[in-house]
Structure 1
Amino acid sequence: MADQSSEKTLQPPADPLAETFLSKIKRLLFGETETSKRNSKDYQYGCCFIILSIIFSFSTMGCIIMWFTDLYLDSILNQMTLKEDTELYQAWKNPPVKPLICVHIFNYTNMDAYTKGQDSKIHVNETGPYCYRETLEKTNVKFYPNGTVSYGDRRTHVFEEKNSTGSMDDILIVPNLPLISAVAMTKDAPSLIQMVVVATLESFYSSTMLNVQAHEFLFGYDDKFISLIRGAVKFLNKEMPFEKFGILAMRAAETKERITVRTGSEDLNSIGVVTAVNGQEKLTAWDDDECNRVDGSDGMFFPRHEINRSAKLYLFHKNLCRRLPLVFEDEVDFQDGVMGMRFHPPPNVYNTTGSCYCKDGVCPPVGVFDVSPCSMGAPIMMSFPHFLNAEPSVTAHLEGIHPDASRHDFFIDVQPILGFTLGTVSRIQLNLQIRKSQRISLLKEFDDGTILPVVWFEVTADRLPPDLFKMIYHASVTVPLIQHLLKWGMLVTCVSSACGVLMCRPRRKPTPNTTTLAVVSPPTSEIIILRLTSV
């Protein structure tokens, strides 16, 4: 046999302790082997490392979600969009909150003396309040694919004697609204039309003021001029929203007017935002697009991302044909631990000087708001009760006006996390402005431009019914508490598991140093290659 050099390699035996990560997984899933039993300490460290690594990964994701996103809260709030056949929808369509509406009527006590020139000022005496429990129902509800819903409304009122200080049989002397409105609406009409209107009015009315019972003034009395108009409307195949003229009758009348709001299905932050009135996305009452803008809350929800101490919220008020700004006033404990942020209109909310709410460049006095452009020309002026924050000239001809911010301001309490209106005390006053032509002899006892207070309303909803309160309490108190616990729990778990991973990580074995030696075997003269390993 020919001599042939062969090389043999001597290597150290396999280290039984040097197990792969895969083998540790295998042992974890299928049980211990004989080797793992002999090395239980490494096995335990491996299991600990794997489990803690998984916990660390999930807790890290949880920390990111809870601390840096609104995913958790949004998942809760997504249940609050307006959808048919849900509890929220039923509460929206038939609100369980039944506000108390109290009407304060200004009784004119010295009109004979004032008309004869014996008194220099008109004496008014606030009577009432006459209080009613109002039930609201949304009618003809229709959802649209673009995430909006439109509706009308129907209101009913039940007298609450225990909250009232006046009797429904009280006889009051009040301004004649149909007469004053008709004169104002024909002020700029041709002379022939004015003559016809004046002759008609003089045949119907003998005085600028009315003697009427409180109940009739609120819910309707027989008025000859209104009856004439109603007959003309029916002749034209039109409908009047009320049969008799009355302050609350007009509020309770079911009309074809429709409001369109967002449901929140496309953007939760826009739920309850008004987008159209009678299908029109802009009003036509004013001379500027900004004032004709249809926007703001419907009063039930506000954009929650905009609710903070420096925020300016907007409430769309259809009776004013505008959106009202609301600014932060205070934080309040609304009901049994449910906290709210109180917003109210700024003192200058009815100051329209130099704004687009001045029709044809003519601005009303500071403190009153002219809504005649959206009330068919009727000379209606709105203000705070008792002309709070109005300029002195507005009340210079009146005696008995006593503005008080604590009694006559307007505020809304909002839950900031949900953007939900908890309650409100809304106060607003209805006034009439005398507008007459020199050719018209009616209303001769009043100067042109005189503003007469008629009534002021106080709408109070200061407590939630039990079922609604429970839902709001859990959403505004329980959910944030759970969110708070989860945030810190995830953080503690993340840090603890990270420390555990570092303690249980696999030990890296020292890297061996190998020395190669060539040795000649004396008997066979073979060259044997030895690799000597030292640790």
Structure 2
Amino acid sequence: MPSTGCLNVRIDPSSLSFDMWKQIPVPFYLSVYFFHVLNPNEVLQGGKPQVQERGPYVYREFRHKSNITFNDNDTVSFLEYRSFQFQPHKSRGLESDYIVIPNILVMSAAMMMEDRPMSLKLMMTLAFTTLGERAFMNRTVGEIMWGYEDPLMNLINKYFPNMFPFKGKFGLFAELNNSNSGLFTVFTGVKDFSRIHLVDKWNGLSKVSFWHSDQCNMINGTAGQMWAPFMSPESSLEFYSPEACRSMKLVYKEAALFEGIPTYRFVAPSTLFANGSVYPPNEGFCPCRESGIQNVSTCRFSAPLFLSHPHFYNADPVLAEAVAGLHPNPEEHALFLDIHPVTGIPMNCSVKLQLSLYMKAVRGIGQTGSIQPVVLPLLWFGESGAMEGKTLQSFYSQLVLLPKVLHYAQYVLLALGCVLLLVPIVYQIRSQEKCYLFWSGSKKGSKDKEATQAYSETLMTSAPKGTVLHEARL
């Protein structure tokens, strides 16, 4: 029979954590940093790219689950919607700031045409020239994030209707705002507690088809919000990320405290984005380039996009050396999740990822100039959330304060029990001492009693004749 703690964390309307699962009370923030290209003309002539990090541009992230449906096989299906609201007071800049970055549409289209006949490339060059398209663009933060009108997009959608999923504006985060991350079906833990929060299917699939091995296509772990309780340092955190089109596994690093609440910190292993030659299980994510970056072109409309840690942290050093202005370090660019091990609920998290574009000159397409092959960072973003306010106070009371009170209460009760046991023992000992003293006192006065008794007997005996009795006076 499951314990009370198990009943409280399972996905069931009667459990204490159900409302928290339905709408996570932790405020989430999306912080975006752009790599502003300082020398685009030099890059076109074959020079080394020089970038300047701009930001953060911070957005409050709102999440809520809908279409919650409980199934017969101990699972529940749901859609989680997200929306973003710009936070000027937390940001270093405004959405109206202009940023120079590679023109993703132009460079992606050029790379797709690399092995096509020269006649098609020349036609594309002419189309780019007519539409005023260049290898680099100067757009506002808001346009890059949430979309902008582009005549090239309209042209591509007209002649290649299935090439891009975008039908209107093109933006790197346009798909995320006011939308869901797919239909998740996870185990509730009501019938089988050992499978609680694990993903059964995503969009009706038990595995994806983006990659080249069954292991890489597997949908493992949870939906990335809560994990099974009763963790140990041998546990790992595994979750499926629709944005990365893959499952990720974090490993235990250390025990810590968050606002007085005990936590386990989990971090990304150095092999998370390693290439197949460094870490053979990742061979299925290839074709690979340098270790530390993952090719996501197969799930991102065939654009030569790469996922990594910010500033190429934990990647082959040649990647950061190829671009001036990058400074990878673990304090700023490593990701982590702090989990309360007893409940499996995140207390504090910061997931950081970078999106880069592979660029090079494509013979026959004039807009690419003499660009030397380079993986150029576009931006990096961090999704962070920390429990605070009344929710944190409630957690502290239930997870720290109450257990401490109960812990010390058992010693107080034990001491009280010992006192109550000692009272009758002491009373019994005291009673025995009184009896002993009485008996001892009686023994000491025996000679006096004998004398008194003899005197009394003489009084009671008749006096001999001729004896004069004297009157006793007080």
Same-fold status (TM-score > 0.5): yes
Residue of structure 2 equivalent to 1:54: none
Residue of structure 1 equivalent to 2:244: 320
Q: Within 1, Cα distance between the matches of 2:122 and 2:229?
A: 56
Q: State whether residues 42 and 48 of structure 2, in contact with CA within 8 Å, keep that contact through their aligned partners in structure 1.
A: no
Distance apart, 1:432 and its partner CA: 0.8
Distance apart, 1:290 and its partner CA: 1.0
Q: Deviations over 1:444-474 (max 9, x none)?
A: 33234x20100010222123341x3345335
Q: Which residue of the other structure, out of 36, 40, 60, is the alignment partner of 1:107?
A: 36
Residue of structure 1 equivalent to 2:372: 447
Distance apart, 1:480 and its partner CA: 4.4
Q: State whether residues 241 and 255 of structure 1, in contact with CA within 8 Å, keep that contact through their aligned partners in structure 2.
A: no
* One-letter amino acid of the structure 1 residue matched with residue 20 of structure 2: A
TM-score w.r.t. the length of structure 2 is 0.78
Distance apart, 1:275 and its partner CA: 2.2
Q: Deviations over 1:161-207 (max 9, x none)?
A: 12111122222111111122223334455667656555444433431
Residue of structure 2 equivalent to 1:142: 69
Distance apart, 1:303 and its partner CA: 2.5
SS state at 2:215 partner: coil
SS state at 1:95 partner: coil
Q: Which residue of the other structure, out of 324, 346, 350, is the alignment partner of 2:273?
A: 350
Q: Which residue of the other structure, out of 366, 374, 391, is the alignment partner of 2:291?
A: 366
Distance apart, 1:401 and its partner CA: 0.5
Say if 2:324 is the partner of 1:395.
no
Residue of structure 2 equivalent to 1:298: 223
Q: Deviations over 1:65-88 (max 9, x none)?
A: xxxxx95xx212312222247663
Is the deviation greater in 263-272 or in 294-303?
263-272
Say if 2:148 is the partner of 1:221.
yes
Say if 2:266 is the partner of 1:339.
no
Q: State whether residues 352 and 369 of structure 1, in contact with CA within 8 Å, keep that contact through their aligned partners in structure 2.
A: yes
Distance apart, 1:137 and its partner CA: 2.0
Q: State whether residues 184 and 377 of structure 1, in contact with CA within 8 Å, keep that contact through their aligned partners in structure 2.
A: no
* One-letter amino acid of the structure 1 residue matched with residue 107 of structure 2: I
* One-letter amino acid of the structure 2 residue matched with residue 379 of structure 1: P
Is the deviation greater in 403-412 or in 214-223?
214-223
Q: From the superposition, tell whether residues 491 and 399 of structure 1 become closer, same or farther in structure 2 (CA, over 3 Å).
A: same
Q: Deviations over 1:43-98 (max 9, x none)?
A: xxxxxxxxxxxxxxxxxxxxxxxxxxx95xx2123122222476633332332222
Say if 2:183 is the partner of 1:258.
yes
Q: From the superposition, tell whether residues 175 and 407 of structure 1 become closer, same or farther in structure 2 (CA, over 3 Å).
A: same
Q: Within 2, Cα distance between the matches of 1:104 and 1:360?
A: 26
Q: State whether residues 368 and 383 of structure 1, in contact with CA within 8 Å, keep that contact through their aligned partners in structure 2.
A: yes
Q: Within 1, Cα distance between the matches of 2:306 and 2:134?
A: 22
Q: Within 2, Cα distance between the matches of 1:366 and 1:201?
A: 34
Distance apart, 1:224 and its partner CA: 1.5
Residue of structure 1 equivalent to 2:443: none
SS state at 2:238 partner: strand
Residue of structure 2 equivalent to 1:473: 396
Distance apart, 1:270 and its partner CA: 2.5
Q: State whether residues 8 and 16 of structure 2, in contact with CA within 8 Å, keep that contact through their aligned partners in structure 1.
A: no
Is the deviation greater in 104-113 or in 310-319?
310-319
Distance apart, 1:111 and its partner CA: 1.3
Q: State whether residues 8 and 15 of structure 2, in contact with CA within 8 Å, keep that contact through their aligned partners in structure 1.
A: no
Distance apart, 1:211 and its partner CA: 0.7
Segments of 5+ residues of structure 2 without an aligned counterpart are: 420-474
TM-score w.r.t. the length of structure 1 is 0.70
Residue of structure 2 equivalent to 1:132: 59
Q: Within 2, Cα distance between the matches of 1:156 and 1:410?
A: 23
* One-letter amino acid of the structure 1 residue matched with residue 65 of structure 2: K
Q: From the superposition, tell whether residues 311 and 495 of structure 1 become closer, same or farther in structure 2 (CA, over 3 Å).
A: farther
Segments of 5+ residues of structure 1 without an aligned counterpart are: 1-69, 497-535
Q: State whether residues 108 and 123 of structure 1, in contact with CA within 8 Å, keep that contact through their aligned partners in structure 2.
A: yes
Q: From the superposition, tell whether residues 282 and 491 of structure 1 become closer, same or farther in structure 2 (CA, over 3 Å).
A: farther
Q: State whether residues 309 and 352 of structure 2, in contact with CA within 8 Å, keep that contact through their aligned partners in structure 1.
A: yes
Say if 2:303 is the partner of 1:378.
yes
Q: State whether residues 338 and 477 of structure 1, in contact with CA within 8 Å, keep that contact through their aligned partners in structure 2.
A: yes
SS state at 1:399 partner: coil
SS state at 2:225 partner: coil
Q: Within 2, Cα distance between the matches of 1:256 and 1:417?
A: 28
SS state at 1:217 partner: helix
Residue of structure 2 equivalent to 1:272: 197
Q: Within 2, Cα distance between the matches of 1:409 and 1:317?
A: 17
Q: Within 2, Cα distance between the matches of 1:399 and 1:367?
A: 18
Q: Within 1, Cα distance between the matches of 2:333 and 2:299?
A: 25
Residue of structure 1 equivalent to 2:354: 429
Q: From the superposition, tell whether residues 181 and 137 of structure 1 become closer, same or farther in structure 2 (CA, over 3 Å).
A: farther
Q: Which residue of the other structure, out of 93, 98, 118, is the alignment partner of 1:171?
A: 98
SS state at 2:217 partner: coil
Q: From the superposition, tell whether residues 232 and 267 of structure 1 become closer, same or farther in structure 2 (CA, over 3 Å).
A: farther
Q: Within 2, Cα distance between the matches of 1:96 and 1:359?
A: 37
Residue of structure 2 equivalent to 1:98: 27
Q: Which residue of the other structure, out of 242, 253, 263, is the alignment partner of 1:329?
A: 253
Q: From the superposition, tell whether residues 271 and 404 of structure 1 become closer, same or farther in structure 2 (CA, over 3 Å).
A: same
Q: Deviations over 1:102-144 (max 9, x none)?
A: 1100000111233345xx4211000111111111122333221
Q: Within 2, Cα distance between the matches of 1:271 and 1:242?
A: 38
Residue of structure 2 equivalent to 1:464: 388
SS state at 2:50 partner: strand
Distance apart, 1:293 and its partner CA: 0.8
Per chain length, whose mean CA-contact separation is higher, i.e. which structure has more relative contact order (CA < 8 Å, sep 6+)?
Answer: 1
Q: State whether residues 333 and 352 of structure 2, in contact with CA within 8 Å, keep that contact through their aligned partners in structure 1.
A: yes
Q: Within 2, Cα distance between the matches of 1:229 and 1:86?
A: 51
Is the deviation greater in 209-218 or in 456-465?
456-465
* One-letter amino acid of the structure 2 residue matched with residue 88 of structure 1: S
Residue of structure 2 equivalent to 1:123: 50
Q: Within 1, Cα distance between the matches of 2:361 and 2:79?
A: 35
* One-letter amino acid of the structure 1 residue matched with residue 208 of structure 2: L
Q: Within 1, Cα distance between the matches of 2:285 and 2:273?
A: 17
Q: Within 2, Cα distance between the matches of 1:94 and 1:223?
A: 37
Q: Within 2, Cα distance between the matches of 1:485 and 1:241?
A: 61
SS state at 2:144 partner: helix
Residue of structure 2 equivalent to 1:53: none
Q: State whether residues 83 and 176 of structure 2, in contact with CA within 8 Å, keep that contact through their aligned partners in structure 1.
A: no
Q: From the superposition, tell whether residues 408 and 211 of structure 1 become closer, same or farther in structure 2 (CA, over 3 Å).
A: same
Q: From the superposition, tell whether residues 378 and 154 of structure 1 become closer, same or farther in structure 2 (CA, over 3 Å).
A: same
